[in-house]
Structures are given as C-alpha cells and as structure tokens.
Amino acid sequence: MAHRHIIKSIEPGSIAEELGIEKGDILLSINDQEVEDVFDYHFYVNDEQLVLTIEKPDGEEWELEIEKDYEEDLGIEFEQGLMDEYRSCRNKCIFCFIDQMPKGMRDTLYFKDDDSRLSFLQGNYVTLTNMSDHDIDRIIRYHLEPINISFHTTNPELRCQMLHNRFAGEALKKVDRLYEAGIEMNGQIVLCRGINDGEELERTIRDLSGYLPCLQSVSVVPVGLTKYRDGLYPLEPFTPEDARKVLEVVHRWQDELYEKWGSHFIHAGDEWYLLAGEEMPPQERYDGYLQLENGVGMMRLLENEFQEAFDGLPGDDLSREVSVATGKLAYPLICSMAEKLKSRYPGTVIHTYQIENRYFGERITVAGLITGQDLKEQLAGKDLGKALLLPCNMFRSQEEVFLDDVTLTELKDALQSEIDIVKSSGQDFIDAVLKLR
C-alpha cells in the first residue's frame, strides 16, 4: 500500500511555503521514491536537488522541483511525527516502570514504545527486539546515529528472562552489524538486585567494552521500584552496601578503559552516589555528559554551573524571599546552593522543601516523577515567600501540567502562591532565586 503523509503545518518563510505547499496537502514521493517513514524522509530531503510529488485536497497532483543547500530543511511538519504508526514494545520486562504505575492516569502514559526511529529522533532507548533486518539496513544505509540501546545484560539467556522475550538474546547480534558499520551508539543497563548485578554486571561491561569506540557510553541505573508491584516479579531494593559495590565495579572499569581508550565509557547514575553516601565524581569523569537523560552527571553539572555563575555574581546586597521544592535526590545539593546564596546575600531568604514521593512510593527520589497532588499536600500551610520555584522536569514537555494531570494554575490556587518554573542549569537557579533577569 502506498504511503500518504498528511502535512500538519508549514514553517513561515520556508522553502515549502514559497512553493505553495499548504496544511492538508499530502506528500506522495520524493525523487520518485516512496517515503516509508521519517527515516526515509530525513535521508531523501538532504539532497540539493529534489522533485516532490504533492497531492492537493482536490486530488490534483503537483510535481515540484527544488534546488537547495545540502541538509537544508523544507519546513514541513507532518501529522504523525514518525510519518508512521508508533511501534509498541513487545517485551514484558521484569523491571518495566509502566507496569508499576497506578490505574487512572492518562492513556498516553501507559504506552510502551520500543521504536528505533524515536531513538534517532528523541534519544529514546530501544531493546532491538522490535527491529527487523530492514530497519538495521536503513540505519546503516542512511548512517542514522546515535542509536541508544537498552542492553541490561549481554548474557543471552538472562536477557530473554529479564525482557520476557525469547528473541531478546538473539537481538544482541544486531549490535555487531551496527558496530561493523561504524554507527555511533549509547547504552544503558537497568540493574536489578541479585539478577544482572555482581558477576553478570562484570560480564556485561566486559562484553560491551568490545564495541568501543562506536559504543560511546553505557549508563548503569538502579531499577525504579514504585509501591504498585502486586503480582509483578519480586524485585528487591538495593542497599547502601550494594550501591558501594556497584560503584567500585564502575570506577574500576572506568580507570582501566580510560587508560586504554581515553574514555571512561561506563557511568553510574547519580542515585547510586546518593544511596552509597558518596560524593559525585568530578566533571572530567563524565566524558562530556553523554548520559544526562539517564540521570548520569546531572548533580555534578548543576553544581558546577551554579558555582561558575555564583563566582560572577554582583557584590551589592540583594533581598528576596522564595521557596524551592524538589525530590530526595537533588535536595542536599539544592540546600547547599541555597546556603551559599544566603551567605552572599544575607537579606535573601530561601525555604527549601524535600517532597516525598507518596504517589509512586518513597523509593522514587527524582524530581521528574513528583506529582501535583504531592506538592499540594506537602506544601500546604508552608512558608513559600514571594514565589515557589519548581524544576521544569516536574512538568510534561512543553506543558504546565504535572504527571497526575494537576495543572500549574490548580497548584497556584491551592497554595495561594506564585510559582516559577526553573530551567535546569545552575545559572537559571540563581536567576530564579534572585530575579536577576
């Protein structure tokens, strides 16, 4: 069946607008090639000379010849971001976070994607079990990178058990093809106590280090365990002693691989350091923060950005009273930054509040999974000053709505307070507290 891609919008001033392409038009082909999905589209539109076949709403077909710079965008947005259906996950992972969510949340939160195109476009991690040889062929042909891969283990039998998919071990062979083609990759390991830690973790790191330098980095993050695990695989939380053992393994491999490759390669998520009671590593250990989205190095980057901005602050006294709320993971660092600002500006008052995740359970420590109702309940009656500062990762992307569908306006009304959404950098934190910009 021919693929027909409905155009959602046209960027003002773009090539598409100049050619008279409009919302509601349908893209039929590029250079007489059928466009299967966004992989094909990105590849074909790079060319300097194009022939687009467009169908107008009345059925008339336009053939448009285009001369442009290489990789120059046409300014077209399609109704489906992937220009195809999203591929849902075929696995039943023993650690899946979506399976641990309460009922009654919006439908989109329960959709499990495992789509290589989202890996390329948005940085999502894929297990490879959903990828056909055709997908691998196109990634190699179009040289789409980086591809982010959820490994968890390189033991084929154990991977089948963890993903509850009999093809999960076989899927690892696809990594060989990507490596041989020189495709850049990043990896992640969700560590489960007594399952893929210890000797299995050693094996996985050893095997994955064989894909250097194409495999640029691998993160090790602890399994997230909510309070909604009835009927699910019995997983146990890691102890502080477990965390110290994981960090010992990671640091030993980092030292060995850095000496050989000039890359630390394997990185521990910030939560391990919090649990172990250890200091976050220095910036140079993070190799340019390749795994920030996985919570690797976020605390170190925030602290360094804060210190750099703090050193450049004006000397005149500033006075303001605000409050900051965050999760358990970031709370010690937020308190430390607040104390520094108060010591520099004695007239400034900063109330800091650690929000316990009662919605998902106390073992969930990241700010990004805090809900509006937890903020409402735990900040009610608290001194919030002129404004309450909340990190942007508490909100849905591009929206002023929390995970539980509580809106920013509803929270403002409940707390009777102004609320400022703060971007993620240390400079943004200082600006929000002192209202410098």
The tokens describing 48, both together, are 């300097």
pLDDT value of position 343: 93
CATH number at residue 57: 2.30.42.10
Give the CATH number for residue 231.
Answer: 3.20.20
Half-sphere exposure of 409 (CA within 13 A, CB side): 1
382-386 long-range contacts (CB < 8 A, ≥24 apart) are 382/323, 382/351, 382/353, 383/323, 383/351, 384/322, 384/323, 384/351, 384/415, 384/417, 385/320, 385/321, 385/322, 385/323, 385/349, 385/350, 385/351, 386/320, 386/321, 386/322, 386/418
Count: domains in the chain:
3
DSSP, residue by residue, 126-177: E-STT--HHHHHHHHHHT--PEEEE-S-S-HHHHHHHHT-TTTTGGGHHHHH
| Position 85 in a domain | no
| 83 belongs to a structural domain | no
Do 405 and 277 belong together in one domain? no
**Would you give per-residue pLDDT tens digits along the chain (437 residues)?**
568 889 999 999 999 999 999 999 999 999 999 888 888 888 888 889 999 999 999 999 999 999 989 888 899 998 877 676 766 677 788 988 888 888 877 766 655 665 556 556 556 888 888 888 988 998 899 888 899 999 999 999 999 999 999 999 999 999 999 999 999 999 999 999 999 999 999 999 999 999 999 999 999 999 999 999 989 999 999 999 999 999 999 999 999 999 999 999 999 999 999 999 999 999 999 999 999 989 999 999 999 999 999 999 988 778 899 999 999 999 999 999 999 999 999 999 999 999 999 999 999 999 999 999 999 999 999 999 999 999 999 998 778 999 899 999 999 999 999 999 999 899 999 999 998 76
CA distances from 307 to 238, 323, 333, 422 (A): 32, 20, 12, 17
- 294, 311, 341 — which closes off a domain? 294
- Relative to beta strand 349-354, strand 321-326 is parallel
Q: Is residue 105 part of a domain?
A: yes
Can you give the pLDDT at residue 118?
A: 58
Do 72 and 168 belong to one domain? Answer: no
- From 78, 109, 132, the end of a domain falls on 78
Same structural domain, 43 and 14: yes
**What is the rounded distance in angstroms from the CA atom of residue 24 to the CA atom of residue 6?**
6
State the angle between helix axes of 133-142 and 173-180 in degrees (0 to 180), rounded to the nearest 10.
20
If asked whether residues 60 and 184 sit together in one domain, one would say no
Task: Determine, yes or no, domain membership for 87.
Answer: no
For residue 282, the 8-state DSSP code is: P
Please indicate, yes or no, whether residues 281 and 336 belong to a single structural domain of this protein.
Answer: no
Burial of 157 (0-12, 13-18, 19+ CB in 10 A): exposed
Sequence-separated (6 or more) residues with CB below 8 Å from residue 6: 24, 25, 26, 78, 79
Query: Based on the domain organization, do 138 and 13 belong to the same domain?
Result: no
Classify residue 429: in a domain, yes or no: yes
- Range of the structural domain that residue 180 is part of: 98-294
- The tally of CA atoms less than 13 A away on the side-chain side of residue 301 is 17
278 shares a domain with 189:
yes
Q: Which of 406, 403, 330, 397 is nearest to 367 (CA)?
A: 330
CB contact at 8 A, 209 and 265: yes
| 393 located within any domain | yes
Verify that 372 and 271 share a domain, yes or no: no
Tell me, yes or no, whether 88 lies in a domain.
no
In this structure, the answer to whether residues 116 and 239 fall within a common structural domain is yes
Residues 263 and 374 both lie in one domain: no
One domain for residues 344 and 402: yes
pLDDT of residue 316: 79
Domain final position from 78, 110, 126:
78
pLDDT of residue 156: 97
Residue 92 domain flag: no
CATH number reported for the structural domain that contains residue 314 in this entry? 3.40.50
pLDDT at 370: 96
Residue 411 shares a structural domain with residue 314: yes
